Structure 1
Amino acid sequence: MTHGVSFPADADGRRSTTRAGRAVVADALRPVDPVGALGAEQETAWRSGYVLHLRRLVEAGVAGPDAWLAIADAGLDAVRRTLVVAADDGSEAPLSSLATAPSKRTLGTIEVLGEGAAQVELVLPYRGRELRGADLRAQLDAWVARGVMEPSVATAVGLVIDHPEWLRLEGRTVAVLGAGAEMGPLAALLRWGATVAAVDLPRPALWERVQRTARAGAGRLLVPFDASASEDGSFGADLLAEVPEVSDWLAALDGRLVLGNYLYADGGTHVRVAAAADALATRLIAARPDTALAFLATPTDAFVVPREAVEQSTRAYSERSGAAKLVGRPLRWATRGRLLHRAYPPAADPGISDAIVPVQGPNYALAKRIQRWRAAAARRDGTLVSFHVAPSTRTRSVVKNRALAAAFAGAHRFGVEIFEPDTANTLMAALLVHDLSTELPVHDHPWQDEAYAAVHGGLWRAAYEPRSALGLAAALGYASART
Structure 2
Amino acid sequence: MHIRLGLPAYNSPPGLSQALIVVQSAALMEIVHSAVGLVRSPVVVTAMQVMSRIVALFAVVYSPAAQAHYGSGLMILGWALVEVPRYAFYVAALISGDATKGTPYPLFYLRYTLFYVLYPLGISGELFTFYNATNDPSFTGAFPSVPYSAEALYWFYAFTLAIYVPGGPFMYMNMVGNRKSAMRKRFAKPRPPPKGLIFPTDKKGGKSTSEAGKNALAAAISAVDKAYGEKVLKERNWRFGYTKHFLKMVELQCKSPKAALAIAEAGLEQMHSSFQFVNPDGSTCSFKEAMSAKNKTKFETGFIEGSGSKPAPSLSVPYKGKQLAGDDLKKQVAAWVEYGTIEASAGDAINKVIDNPTWMDLSDKYFVMLGAGSAMGPFKVLMALGANIIAIDLDRPGIWKNLISTARASPGTITFPMKKPQASCKDDDDLFSNSGSNLFTETPMIKDWLLSLYKGKEFVVGSYAYLDGALHVQVSLAMDAICKALSESRKATLAYLCTPTDAHLCTKEANDAARKEYNRMSLGKLFEIFWQVVSRGAFLKKNARKPVKSDDGEEFYYVDGLAVAQGPNYAIAKRLQHWRAVVAREGGSIVSSNIAPATSTASVVHAKTFAMAYEGMPYFKPYEISEPDMSKAVMLALLTYDIRDKSSAANPKTKLSNPNELFKYGSFNGGCWRCAYTVSSIGEVSVVICLCKWAAPFVPVVAAVAAAGYAKFTGAF
TM-score (norm 2): 0.64
Relative to structure 1, is the Cα distance of residues 480 and 212 closer, same or farther in structure 2, using a 3 angstrom cutoff?
farther
Distance 2:227 2:582 in 1: 24
Query: How many pairs align?
Result: 481
Secondary structure in structure 1 of the residue aligned to 2:436: coil
**What does residue 393 of structure 2 align with?**
200
Residues 304-334 of structure 1: CA distance to partner in whole angstroms, max 9, x if unpaired?
211110111122223342x122223333233
> Residue 669 of structure 2 aligns to a residue in which SS?
coil
Higher relative contact order (CA 8 A, sep 6+): 1
The question of whether the paired residues in 2 share the 8 Å contact of 1:167 and 1:193 is answered with no
Contact (CA 8 Å) 1:4, 1:241: kept in 2 or not?
Answer: yes
Give 1:81's match in structure 2, choosing from 267, 273, 281: 273
Deviations 1:250-271 (A, max 9, x none): 2222221111101111221111
Offset, 1:107: 1.8
Asked if the contact 2:547/2:558 (under 8 Å) is kept, the reply is no
**How big is the shift at 1:11?**
7.2
Which of residues 512, 521, 524 in structure 2 aligns to 1:311? 512
SS in 2 for 1:350: strand
Counterpart selection for 1:242 from 430, 435, 442: 442
Equivalent residue, structure 1, for 2:616: 410
**2:562 is matched with which residue?**
356
Write the distance in 2 (CA, Å) between the matches of 1:455 and 1:369.
Answer: 18
Task: Tell me the distance in 2 between the aligned counterparts of 1:159 and 1:304.
Answer: 23
Partner in structure 1 of residue 365 of structure 2? 172
Indicate how the Cα distance of structure 1 residues 227 and 90 shifts in structure 2: closer, same or farther if over 3 A, else same.
closer
Q: Which whole-Å CA distance do the structure 1 matches of 2:234 and 2:660 have between them?
A: 28
The offset of 1:231, in angstroms, is 5.2
Structure 1 residue identity aligned to 2:686: A
Is the contact made by 1:5 and 1:95 (CA closer than 8 Å) also made in structure 2?
A: yes
Identity of aligned residues (%): 35
**Contact in 1 for aligned 2:389/2:415 (Cα 8 Å):** yes
For structure 1, the residue ranges without an aligned partner over 5 or more in a row are none
Q: Is the 1:199–1:237 Cα contact (8 Å) retained in structure 2?
A: yes
* Separation in structure 2 between the aligned mates of residue 350 and residue 360 of structure 1, nearest angstrom: 26
Distance 2:672 2:280 in 1: 44
Q: Which residue of 1 aligns with 2:303?
A: 111
Distance change >3 Å, CA 345–CA 258, structure 1 → 2: closer
Equivalent residue for 2:483? 281
Number of the residue aligned with 2:542: 342
Report the Cα distance in structure 1 between the residues aligned to 2:399 and 2:568, rounded to whole angstroms.
28
Partner Cα separation in structure 2 for residue 88 and residue 192 of structure 1: 39
User: 1:103 & 1:139 partners in 2: Cα distance?
Assistant: 51
Q: 1:478 aligns with which of 691, 702, 707?
A: 691
CA deviations 1:152-190 (Å, max 9, x no partner) are: 111111121122222122321010000010111211111
Q: Does 1:211 align with 2:404?
A: yes
Amino acid corresponding to residue 438 of structure 2 in structure 1: D
In terms of mean alpha carbon deviation, does 367-376 or 186-195 score higher? 186-195
Partner of 1:297: 498
How many Å apart are 1:431 and its aligned residue?
A: 1.2
Give the distance between the partners of 1:319 and 1:225, measured in 2 at CA: 58
Aligned pairs for 1:62-211 within 5 A = 62-88=254-280, 90-120=282-312, 121-211=314-404
Instruction: Summarize the Cα distance change of 1:317–1:279 in structure 2 as closer, same or farther, 3 Å threshold.
Output: same
| SS at 2:494 equivalent | strand
1:55 alignment partner in structure 2? 247
Preserved contact between residue 303 and residue 354 of structure 1 (Cα < 8 Å): yes
Q: 1:46 to 1:293 in 2, by over 3 A?
A: same
Deviates more, 1:392-401 or 1:240-249: 240-249
Instruction: Point out the more displaced range, 239-248 or 333-342.
Output: 333-342
For 1:378 and 1:235, the matched residues in 2 are separated by: 30
Q: What does residue range 247-258 of structure 1 map to in structure 2 within 5 Å?
A: 247-254=447-454, 255-258=457-460
SS of the aligned residue for 2:327 comes to: helix
Is the CA contact (8 Å cut-off) linking 1:314 and 1:346 kept in structure 2? no
Match of 1:468 among 665, 670, 681: 681
Q: Which structure would you say has the larger Rg? A: 2
Unaligned runs of 5+ in 2: 1-192, 549-554, 698-717
Shift of residue 77, structure 1, vs aligned partner: 1.0
Is contact 1:99-1:283 (8 Å) kept? no
Aligned mates of 1:151, 1:194 — CA distance in 2? 28
* Aligned ranges 1:328-477 → 2 under 5 Å: 328-345=528-545, 350-415=556-621, 416-439=623-646, 440-441=648-649, 442=654, 443-477=656-690
Cα deviation digits, residues 388-407 of structure 1 (max 9, x gap):
11111011111111111111
**Counterpart residue number, 1:19:** 211
Distance 1:158 1:369 in 2: 29
Q: How far apart are 1:365 and its partner, in Å?
A: 0.9
Between the aligned partners of 1:315 and 1:22, the Cα distance in structure 2 is: 36
Deviates more, 1:335-344 or 1:48-57: 335-344
Counterpart of 1:352 in structure 2: which amino acid? Y
**TM-score, normalised relative to structure 1:** 0.95
Q: CA RMSD in A?
A: 2.0
Letter paired with 2:586: R
Letter in 2 for 1:91: S
Q: Work out the CA distance in 1 between the residues paired with 2:545 and 2:246.
A: 20
Select between 179-188 and 209-218 the one with higher mean Cα deviation: 209-218
C-alpha distance 135-277 of structure 1, shift in aligned 2 (>3 A): same
Verify: 1:272 aligned to 2:474, yes or no. yes
Aligned in 2, Cα 1:232/1:134: closer, same or farther, shift over 3 Å?
closer
Three-state SS of the structure 2 residue aligned to 1:388 is: strand
Cα distance in structure 1, aligned partners of 2:195 and 2:677: 44
Deviation at 1:32, TM superposition (A): 2.1
